[in-house]
Structure 1
Amino acid sequence: MAKKTVATLQTGKNDGRSYSKVIKMVKSPKTGAYIFNEEMVPNEAVKDFFKN
């Protein structure tokens, strides 16, 4: 059987839930096409990520 991959983001029991994967759509200045920026940010910083 194939092995499952395990997320290495968790250092404790509840630490993994304190992060969220956020995706923002940004228009490229070179081509004009849309690109997607993906990041793992703490839950407290999600609103700040989308403000910029």
Structure 2
Amino acid sequence: MAKKVVATLKKEGGRTFAKVIKAVKSPKTGAYTFKEEMVPTDLVQDTLKK
């Protein structure tokens, strides 16, 4: 199933996506967790600014 998803993301004429991984610090414990998002490449900078 994963191969089909990758194949559709690389389709000609389709949008290209990037995986954004952000480290988020928990206010309660101080430990870091990672949040992963798939965003269109033109929105990567906007996503990282949030």
Shorter-chain TM range is: 0.7 to 0.9
Which structure is higher in helix share? 2
**What pairs up with 1:1-52 in 2 under 5 angstroms?**
5-8=2-5, 10=8, 13-14=11-12, 15=14, 18-52=16-50
TM-score, normalised via structure 1 length:
0.72
Please list every run of at least 4 consecutive aligned residues from structure 1 whose deviation after the TM superposition is greater than 3 angstroms: none
Q: Percent same amino acid at aligned positions?
A: 48
Q: Report the structure number with the largest CA radius of gyration.
A: 1
Distance 2:9 2:35 in 1: 25
Structure 1 residue runs of 5 or longer lacking an equivalent are none
TM-score, normalised via structure 2 length:
0.74
Across the aligned residues of Structure 1 and Structure 2, the Cα RMSD in angstroms comes to 2.4
Structure 2 residue runs of 5 or longer lacking an equivalent are none
Aligned length: 48
